[in-house]
Amino acid sequence: MTAVLGGCGLTGDSDGVTLKLVAADYGDSKDNSSRKYWDELVESYEAKNPDVQVDVTVYSWNDVDRKVREMVEAGEAPDMAQIGAYSDYADKELLYRADDVLSIPVQADFVSQLAAAGQVNGVQYGLPFAASTRVLFYNKTLFDKAGVQPPKSWDDLAEAAEALEEKGVKYPYALPLGAEEAQAETMQWMLSGEGGYTDDVGTYSVDSPQNVTTFTWLRDELVGKGLTGPVAPGKLNRADAFAAFAAGDVGMLNGHPSLMKMASDKGVKYGMVTTPGIDGESKNTLGVSDWMTAFKKNGHRDEIGDFLDFVYSEENVLDFSREYDLLPVTTSASRTMSTAPEDENLKPFLDELLLSELYPVGKTSWASVSADVKKRIGQAVATGASPKEVLGQIQATAMKAGSAE
């Protein structure tokens, strides 16, 4: 247990072990591919631990979850996989628990909301790897022309959208409820209306009165008044909404840190504020995390634990977060970033992290529910639609999927 508890190098018992890691690519070009990050990190680790080799394969986000699933189904699970979901593997008892592999200081350093979201039945299997939150981005130039201030409440947002529409702005408020990431925009709006996918005890509550009120308001006050642009929300994907914002065609939208660089590169002057809520600033915001998992298949618990302790050192967490404009998943790195001048642009997102709520990723049913949200939620805001009926259909899917857990 020396390696697991010490977190500072193996003790020489290991005999030429090779660890296999599958990771997702956060870069948008060859120059900033995650391959480069992992190559440098592994080189540094292997220099201190010559008996351990780490073989890293990097796939795009379009492929990585599928690739890992295929490896597991073929009986060839990697030692570690950095992917988008973990609960199915935990449910099948394929993963090490966090306290099986991580040293106590490293496990205790995770941001509490993220660590909690990595739990199944109170046991942590998902190790948060990268995080982000959402804030409301607005185009300062368009807001100045329309003579409006950044909104704090839904009513403010609707008034600003009307003023932007009168000035000919293409998308006064961009509402991406298309299949790409509808579950994110949906949850952001649910939280701003004091609802969510689940209730206080973790039971699905998709069709709660709060959520019905939220989507009725969206249908009547934004979509129905032509304030969400020429593309129906159910057809508008996040990537297209972000591209439109970077092109100067969007007055405001919910965005995560990567939008900052996109907008700056195109010369868009933007501001960021807390997501507007039903009666003022939203009390909660959406938090998102990707996950590191440690598979039992090859039995390399000690080596996995020592390598992951290295991965989660403050220096390495900061390097990754800064490279990709993401939020650190550890308290120590968050504390450093919150006061560092070079990270000032991420501070609004860091502030939101402690108020964030994450998807119910600990539920194996979440994949089915998320897929149904992507399929149906755009219908909830269509003219003449019944938000209560559409949310009820998603709730039925959730209850059916949840009953099998």
Q: Poorest-confidence range of 9-18, 283-292, 378-387?
A: 9-18
pLDDT, tens only, 78-104: 999 999 989 999 999 999 999 999 999
pLDDT in tens, 34-56: 999 999 999 999 999 999 999 99
Please give the C-alpha separations between residue 305 and each of 5, 157, 160, 316, in angstroms, as whole numbers.
Answer: 9, 48, 51, 16
Query: pLDDT tens digit string along 358-376?
Result: 999 999 899 899 999 999 9
Neighbours of 344 (CB within 10 A): 11
pTM of the model: 0.86
Amino acid (one-letter) located at 133? T
pLDDT in tens, 219-231: 999 999 999 999 9
Q: How far apart are CA 292 and CA 56, in angstroms?
A: 13
For tokens 């391959």, the residue is 35
- Across 281-312, b (16+ Cβ under 10 Å) vs e yields bbebbbbbbbbbbbbbebebbbbbbbbbbbbb
Mean of the pLDDT values across residues 113-141?
A: 95
Backbone dihedral angles phi then psi of residue 282, each to the nearest 5 degrees: -60, 140
Mean pLDDT value across the chain: 93
Lookup: tokens for 274:
């807390």
**pLDDT attached to residue 1:** 25
User: Quick one: pLDDT at residue 9?
Assistant: 43
CA distances from 151 to 155, 210, 221 (A): 8, 21, 15
pLDDT band per the 50, 70, 90 thresholds, residue 11? very low
Q: Is residue 10 predicted with pLDDT exceeding 60?
A: no
